[in-house]
Copies of this chain bind each other. A is one copy, B any other.
Amino acid sequence: MTTIKDVAKYAEVSVATVSRVLNDRGYASAEARRRVLDAIEELNYQPNSVARSLYHKTSGMIGLFMPDITNPFFPELARAVEDVALEAGYTVVFCNTDEEEAKEKRYFDALKQKYVDGIILTASSQSASDYAQWDMPIVALDRVIGKHIPTVASDNKNGARQATIHLAERGCSFIAHLKGPAGVRPADDRAAGFEEVVKEKGLRSVVVQTNFSIKEAEQETLKLLADHPDIDGIFAASDVTAAGAMQALAQTGRSVPGDVKVIGFDGIPLCNMLVPSLTTVQQSIYQMGEKAAQLLIQQIEHGESESREHIFPVSLIIRETT
């Protein structure tokens, strides 16, 4: 490995001079500059970023904390973050937290010791506690985790309202909501939006809670249909959950959208792969990831970011299930 010393020797200048031309800081005569540049070229020198980190206490790395990359909502988000990071010269450290605070903490400690510059956090639910004390640039993604932390999220409540209204307009009069996990903010917001519209329109309704897994959604839907055979609309808190519901519907011999209309939430690619294709509330997933990364980098490089909450609008995408 060739170091700055090698370059200095080769160029017959001091390491200080090499450092100066490397960073375009301070003086360096045209002559010296040329010799250094030549030496760098010749020796194929690349500055060692660990040494730089040690001095500057920054690393050019950002941490990306998400519950589980295996949940199809997250890959696109991750991709967006990574794209922006790469462009800005950062590198992304990838951390699946499984919503466990312990894992989050563990990763945080590890990353802090590596001088990670900031973190994008799709936080675990319960721990709204002490991210502020983490003392590091943080941006919350998809989930609001506190007043002092910049947040990027969708307008979940409004999306849920649109979904429910849509179902009602399509003639549904008894609508079930497959709610996401308790304590997860977007799930709660969606449920709230649903309840609002149901009340406003005086619809019959029922809410059951599921996690975001397809299998559980299927089971819960089966139970639901047994208890309430006259349900004619389902608003699922995620597209995956909706897919589970559709399985249950097919199993019990119901046609979609004939007997029961279904709408999901998220707008992941899955929607188009289902037959019938799934009506959903589309989030601007990639853009949210982008925005989060931009906010974080801005915060890292220029200190505090101006605004705190970035709520992205959602849009109803009508497909075959309604």
- A109: CB under 8 A from chain B? yes
- A127: CB under 8 A from chain B? no
Interface pair B72/A79, CB less than 8 Å apart: no
Which listed segment binds B: A50-58, A183-191, A299-307? A50-58
Nearest Cβ in chain B — how far from A251, in angstroms?
10
Over the window 74-95 of chain A, the binary record of Cβ atoms lying under 8 Å from chain B Cβ atoms (1 yes, 0 no) is 1110110011001000011111
Nearest Cβ in chain B — how far from A121, in angstroms?
15
Interface pair A109/B46, CB less than 8 Å apart: yes
The answer for the CA separation of A78 and B93 in the assembled complex, in Å, is 12
Could you say which of B47, B54, B115, B247 contacts A273, with CB atoms under 8 Å apart? Answer: B247
Interface pair A79/B96, CB less than 8 Å apart: yes
- A246: CB under 8 A from chain B? yes
Which listed segment binds B: A6-14, A35-43, A63-71, A199-207? A63-71
Nearest Cβ in chain B — how far from A221, in angstroms?
14
The answer for the CA separation of A113 and B244 in the assembled complex, in Å, is 46
**Copies of this chain in the oligomer:** 2
Interface pair A243/B273, CB less than 8 Å apart: yes
Over the window 90-116 of chain A, the binary record of Cβ atoms lying under 8 Å from chain B Cβ atoms (1 yes, 0 no) is 011111100000010011011111110
Nearest Cβ in chain B — how far from A84, in angstroms?
12
Over the window 234-269 of chain A, the binary record of Cβ atoms lying under 8 Å from chain B Cβ atoms (1 yes, 0 no) is 000000100110110010000000000000000001
Chain B contacts for A246, CB-based, 8 A: 275
Interface pair A275/B273, CB less than 8 Å apart: no
- A270: CB under 8 A from chain B? yes
The answer for the CA separation of A92 and B107 in the assembled complex, in Å, is 11
Chain B contacts for A59, CB-based, 8 A: 50, 114
Interface pair A94/B82, CB less than 8 Å apart: yes
Interface residues of A, CB < 8 Å — how many? 52
Interface pair A214/B272, CB less than 8 Å apart: yes
Given contacts A46-B113, A113-B46, contact A69 B75 (CB under 8 A): yes
- A298: CB under 8 A from chain B? no
Nearest Cβ in chain B — how far from A204, in angstroms?
27
- A274: CB under 8 A from chain B? yes
- A126: CB under 8 A from chain B? no
Chain B contacts for A107, CB-based, 8 A: 86, 91
Within A99-146, the residues touching B (CB, 8 Å) are 103, 106-107, 109-115
Chain B contacts for A93, CB-based, 8 A: 61, 91-94
Could you say which of B50, B75, B83, B96 contacts A114, with CB atoms under 8 Å apart? Answer: B50
The answer for the CA separation of A183 and B69 in the assembled complex, in Å, is 28
| Residues of chain A at the chain B interface (Cβ within 8 Å) | 46-51, 53-54, 59, 61, 64, 68-70, 72, 74-76, 78-79, 82-83, 86, 91-96, 103, 106-107, 109-115, 214, 240, 243-244, 246-247, 250, 269-270, 272-275
Q: List 21 A-B contacts (CB under 8 A).
A: A49-B110, A49-B114, A50-B50, A54-B54, A61-B114, A68-B79, A69-B82, A70-B76, A70-B79, A72-B72, A72-B269, A75-B75, A78-B94, A79-B96, A86-B106, A86-B107, A91-B107, A91-B110, A91-B111, A93-B94, A244-B273
